[in-house]
Structure 1
Amino acid sequence: MTRSSRTISRRSFVRSAVAIGGASALSACLDRESGDADAPPRGVDAGGLEELPERQHAWTAAQRTDEHGNPLVPEHHVTLHFSYIGGSPTDEERTQVETAFETLERAYARSNEGLLFTVGYGPTYFDRFDESLPEHVDLPEPTALAPIETPEFDSYDAMFHLASDRGSVVLSAEEALTGELESINGVDVEATLEGVLEAEERRTGFTGAGLPAENQDGVRGIPNSEPVSEDAPMFMGFKSGFKKNQASEDRVTIQEGPFAEGTTTHLSRIRLSLDQWYEQDSRTIRERKMFCPAHAEEGKIEGAGDNLGDSSQLGDCPAHTLEDAREYGTVGHSQKSARARENDEPIILRRDFNSTDDDEAGLHFLSHQRRIEDFVKTREAMNGTDVAEQSAIGARTNNGILQYMTVRRRANYLVPPRRHRSLPTPRPK
């Protein structure tokens, strides 16, 4: 029996509704989620807005965790990409946009069950001003970061990331921002983005154990054998986002100047091609390529890797990268990436998620970091160019998971502190 002939699960139905978007999808999603015991938790009243964190990216304390204390990113995601309509933002426009954001905060609690969101601005947005960004704010134009990639570069003015365990919440927030709803979760929509920011593109995705398996049928890049296991939170079959493999929110937060308490976001749209991954590579080879050869030889990983606890337990694997390349002809993705640590701590905070946009298996790689150069450093370590040059393995073959990924688009954004999130100048007071 194929998955398409089975009764579609609630989670899979909601995922599909989020991917479609619009009023009809929201109505269907609300109907399917109506069996939930409770309505989405309400946010703060108007008087409580000032008590919310200045850091837009301060999600960790609001997120659910698993049994090992690993934060669980919400299940459903939408990124909205906008162009600013006018020439130079006015105070009236800033008030309108801020009121729209505050509507979301009054409607939904900052939690997985409510709504978590960030608002970022790209280099194109800041180019319209005579002033430049402060020197310590690192917001370069996106570039290709490996010899093997030829991505297109986004030039949107703004990007909003909406996330919730409830698909109806992210859809309601989207519809409210774009002027399609008069109220959300019992709160009147007092302002929208209409006339100020024009929606150009939306991307969607999901994460969570079982969701990739429920949504793999008929997706390009996934073998017809439906190979993704039921316990896997990601299409490649293994757990990611271990607590100790992630930078802390403090580490990725800008420390000085008008954008102190803000961060930067890098967003890549990646196509996955997993036919060889599942049909030719054995489980042992997949473990070597995702983690490191030692994990495979020692049998450390059970299932998707939940047994590893709050870290991928790499130990000395990063130090043995070149040695493993020569001995096994293989190095691991996690093994290479861990070489970008500073003081034995990661330098980027990942909040990426699976995607079936355009009916193809994909990954929206979203990371926060204090400076974009921290992401670049991590990506260069993942590329393993030095390993390929100094060992018997090729630039792509058996070099982690590079050969299964094609970077289609890249973008960089500055995520201001909450006080400056609405159409900021480069040097806000």
Structure 2
Amino acid sequence: MTLPDRSSLSRRDYVRGLVAAGGATALGACLDVTSDGPEPDVPSGTDDPASLPDRQHAWNDSLSTDADGTIQLPEHHVLCPLALSDAIADGTDIDDERRETVEAGLQTLERAYEWSNEGLVFTIGYTPAYFARFDDSLPDSVDLPDPEALTAQETPEFDEFDALLHLASDHPSVVLEAEEGLFGDREQLNGLEVETDLSDVFDRVVQHRRTGFIGEGLPAEHADVDGVPDSIHENAPFFMGFRSGFADSQATEDRVTIEDGPFAGGATMHVSSMAINLTQWFQQENHYQRVSKLFSPDHADEELAGEYGEALGGSSAMTPDRIDATEADARERGVVGHAQKAARAREDGEPLLLRRDFNTVDGDQPGLHFVSLQDEIDAFVRVREAMTGTDLEVARANSGILHYLFVNRRGNYLLPARDARAVPTPTSDSTDV
């Protein structure tokens, strides 16, 4: 990919463009530009990776929080798709030596970078296509169907490669450096010698690599991209103009963890990559309408959200009464909120999904990579059905934010526990393909 033109971009936009470009050249440019300003102080990782949480997806206790106690995801993200090398894909056993290679490579990241926003957090997940090459099937305790279209309006492509590496850090140079080091293009990571990489086991599927960002003020800095209006509030962390990730709208890491079977301690992950029609969202709708469609009509009436969700503090204010009013709001008021609809899928008042999604300008257009963790993919499907709201008596244009989102890709993944994350078999204990 061609590197961005530094002369036409702010420093922050330039380094985000470098993350999107990827590769050794982009990393070199990123290191050059960061040397022009304060050099990031990236804390080193642990000498004992076994001391890290058993769950790959256990990020929350190590991430920073805002003044309201809301967990803050790292600012920069890379979704790096992987395919098994030809020798393995053609039928060579996935043996203990290859597992040790993958595990050693991943542990290099954990030794090089602190498990935190300032360092690096990551997961590696495996697709149904990966597990389909084995004679054995996944156990009943794992719900990992092939991805599929979930509404009549979408015709997405599907992630059918083998695995996906999700890298996240507050420092753009870290996600670039980590990716390059894992594939033999970097001799050191944060000062640590790279002795093992993944290039003998995996190839990168560069055409489906995805990147993005999240954080207050970052979306507004992309007003120079076609389709990103300059009316996004300067402090909004998401393209649609409001805060997200409130604690009461997020499942806990315990809730999304698989409890039984050989993959106990793991989770499933769904990734939806979508475009957003921000021009219509900001130019056709006023602030009242945006709040009504994103949260609920009550939120708009009572001015609960503030300018970009800051007035909500640490809570979404999605009370049982507002959730119960969804059908009546659709029928009587002709509009219903996205969060209001999705909350109908809660069980015993608890959300089913832990979202780790982020904004993107991949393809030079505004979008969202929706990353969702749950114990079973069916939980995501149920929430998506509630959010789609085909049971509600309301026009699609007023049914939350459906009218503004366009799904391009879907993928389902199994995130094994840390001790089973290196090219697992369906039983997590067999070595025969």
**Corresponding residue for residue 16 of structure 2:** 15
Is structure 2 residue 274 aligned with structure 1 residue 270? yes
- Extract unaligned runs of 5+ from structure 2: none
- Deviation, structure 1 residue 196: 1.2
Paired letter, 1:264: T
Please give the per-residue CA displacement for 1:266-313, whole angstroms capped at 9, x wherever unaligned.
Answer: 001101112221111111111100000011111111111122122210
CA contact (8 A) 1:231 1:303 kept: no
Q: In structure 2, how many angstroms separate the alpha carbons of the residues matched to 1:255 and 1:182?
A: 39
> How do residues 378-393 of structure 1 correspond to structure 2 at under 5 angstroms?
378-387=383-392, 391=393, 393=394
Q: In structure 2, how many angstroms separate the alpha carbons of the residues matched to 1:288 and 1:161?
A: 33
Relative to structure 1, the CA distance from residue 5 to residue 180 in structure 2 (aligned partners, 3 Å threshold; closer, same or farther) is closer
Q: In structure 2, how many angstroms separate the alpha carbons of the residues matched to 1:50 and 1:165?
A: 24
Please give the per-residue CA displacement for 1:15-48, whole angstroms capped at 9, x wherever unaligned.
Answer: 1111111122212222333333652100011xx1
Most deviating of 83-92 and 149-158: 83-92
TM-score (norm 1): 0.94
**Corresponding residue for residue 228 of structure 2:** 222
**Corresponding residue for residue 142 of structure 1:** 147
Paired letter, 2:362: D
Q: In structure 2, how many angstroms separate the alpha carbons of the residues matched to 1:36 and 1:245?
A: 36
SS in 1 for 2:391: helix
Is structure 2 residue 281 aligned with structure 1 residue 280? no
Q: In structure 2, how many angstroms separate the alpha carbons of the residues matched to 1:24 and 1:83?
A: 23
- Extract unaligned runs of 5+ from structure 1: none
- Deviation, structure 1 residue 216: 2.7
Q: In structure 1, how many angstroms separate the alpha carbons of the residues matched to 2:11 and 2:56?
A: 30
Please give the per-residue CA displacement for 1:380-428, whole angstroms capped at 9, x wherever unaligned.
Answer: 01001101xxx2x22x211000010000000000000000101001112
**Corresponding residue for residue 95 of structure 1:** 100
Is structure 2 residue 264 aligned with structure 1 residue 260? yes
**Corresponding residue for residue 208 of structure 1:** 215
CA contact (8 A) 2:222 2:228 kept: no
SS in 2 for 1:144: coil
- Deviation, structure 1 residue 352: 0.1
Please give the per-residue CA displacement for 1:211-268, whole angstroms capped at 9, x wherever unaligned.
Answer: 100123123x334xx1211110000001110111100000000111111111010001
CA contact (8 A) 2:6 2:14 kept: no
Q: In structure 1, how many angstroms separate the alpha carbons of the residues matched to 2:158 and 2:178?
A: 27
Paired letter, 1:214: E
Between the two proteins, the alignment pairs up a number of residues equal to: 416
Q: In structure 1, how many angstroms separate the alpha carbons of the residues matched to 2:156 and 2:199?
A: 31
> How do residues 3-402 of structure 1 correspond to structure 2 at under 5 angstroms?
8-34=9-35, 35-36=37-38, 38-45=40-47, 48-85=48-85, 86=88, 87=91, 88-200=93-205, 201-219=208-226, 221-223=227-229, 226-315=230-319, 316-387=321-392, 391=393, 393-394=394-395, 396-402=396-402
Paired letter, 2:21: I
Paired letter, 2:398: N
Paired letter, 2:38: D
Please give the per-residue CA displacement for 1:344-380, whole angstroms capped at 9, x wherever unaligned.
Answer: 0101100000000010101000010000011001100
Q: In structure 1, how many angstroms separate the alpha carbons of the residues matched to 2:386 and 2:38?
A: 44
CA contact (8 A) 1:40 1:113 kept: yes
Root-mean-square deviation (CA), in Å? 1.5
Q: In structure 1, how many angstroms separate the alpha carbons of the residues matched to 2:269 and 2:13?
A: 28
Q: In structure 2, how many angstroms separate the alpha carbons of the residues matched to 1:258 and 1:292?
A: 41
SS in 2 for 1:406: strand
Please give the per-residue CA displacement for 1:66-98, whole angstroms capped at 9, x wherever unaligned.
Answer: 011100010000000011121231211111111
